[in-house]
Structure 1
Amino acid sequence: MRAVRRAAEISQSDVATALGAADSTVAGWELGSSVPDQEKLPALARVLKEPLDVLFPRNGLRDLTDLRCDAGLYRYEMAAVIGTKSDGPVAGAENGIRRLKDRYLPDLAAAYGVSVDEVNRAQERSIAKARGEEVEGETAAVAAVEEPPRTLAAKITLLLERSYPAGTAPTDAEIAAAVNTYAGSLVTSAEKVAALRTGADEAEAPAPVVLEGLADFFGVARLYFEPDDAVARQVYEGLRLMSAAKSGQVGRIRARGLGAEGLPAGVLSILNDLATEFEKKAAPDAND
């Protein structure tokens, strides 16, 4: 943190002022004698002019606590967000004790700047984490949700979460520019992409050329963005394989008995062959 601050030519006092903290508090963070609240990390990243996930990388995908803290919100503020007398419902869900009521989800999604589907997935991770469950060698907090994404917002979010290392996912503006280049005209904007990503525009279907541009940008089949669970599941399982390969756990994805709703036998065979190749490359040479 100190190195980043100095490289940006920002003083400790400026950081303290921006975060409403004392200079000594910031000094303590840099010395490692104390750590900032997780809720302060987004503001700290902004002050230091670094992406949050680059400055403070996390292991795995976000749970409910991560969503709230990434929005810079403290738990006590959540009562006003969901219109209750206390933050008990949010606290219970974050601790994996009880699920959120459906009527709270839209307000939380809006406050966190994500889709309702992403709130639901984060909730499953919080519950799995509280139970200490593991799935395929990963904590279930990371891989708890086995259902493929169904809404356009959930599909875009899944691609962004699984296809890019932390801090390298494209921005809404970059996605919009790529789609416009594909279309050869101005068919979307950063604001419209953000609305698709967060689910704000679920009632208004995007033009076919926008979906084609998104498919071309992310390198997936155009059908992935159609309301077809079978196609979505195939892409989902492919992304799980990629994730496992990146973490050195590709063998644990092998031959998972997906059944009729999962990958076709031919595709599964190809992925298993790919898994074997990964294992061969990862194995030490017997002559070494």
Structure 2
Amino acid sequence: MPPRQFDGSRVRAVRRGKDLGQRELAAEVGVSAPTVARWEGGQDFPKGEKLPSIAAALGQPLDALFPHDGPPDLQLLRCDAGLSVAQAATIIGTSRVPVSSAESGRRRLSAAYVRPLAEAYGVTESELLSAQDCSFGHRHGASRDEQATAPRTVGEKINYLLEHGYVGQEPPSDTEIAQLVNEHAGEAAVTTADIVALREGAATEASDVVRAGLAEALQVDAALFQDDAEVNSAARELLEAIRFLGSIHRGQILGLAARGNSGGLSAEMMANINELVGELKHKLPEVPDPEVQNGE
């Protein structure tokens, strides 16, 4: 079903009113006459990117012939530009995965893709980002800062933790992260280039072994790296706590209790912070131990 409302009987009525045959409409849209017949009979629906050409062929405004409810999401912007997922992917020089993942609310677009897609869709970058928020189900009017605190992809989570979790000290380098992941995995699971690719959005996939190693390397609960969906409320609360604590004290936050008080905090403040971080971490879902699952 296309993102806009499609009524085949209405298309047939408008077409007949224009004295246009099914074969003629099909030629204008780039499909076969039987395909148009199926659309009009309700046996099938056109792809969303075909709707603009159908409306143009029938001399009708797109919004009037095929209305839609609510603000536009990414899929609607793409379809209204008359582009398929494959064509949009070609514009940004990738596979279909980044486009389809963003449209389905699984993984946000890399920053490098925003401008070329906005230009291709005929909208501003701000409008594209607002449409992306709609694809991810964010309520209208939510602030950009509020929405930005929910990293989804592996790379976004790595960047978030490096930015907010090591205030006042040097965060681990890409090489150090790769080494820590490999030590945890007990094998050469990633390279420095792999970590760079994840952080820059050039790569989006990571094995379960790598995800577990990243959690260990960055000293967070493994649940944060379990999937690429928006983090759940408990995990988001932990990330928010990390960011908030980093903003009120320019010292080490991640693993604060384990690594000791090098930032000069009072014992009372240390206790409060450790209690808060521990409390939030315990809210995260349990992650099964693969060795236990395998009976080792």
TM-score over 0.5 (shorter chain): no
Higher CA-based Rg: 2
* TM-score band, normalised by shorter chain: 0.3 to 0.5
TM-score w.r.t. length of structure 1: 0.45
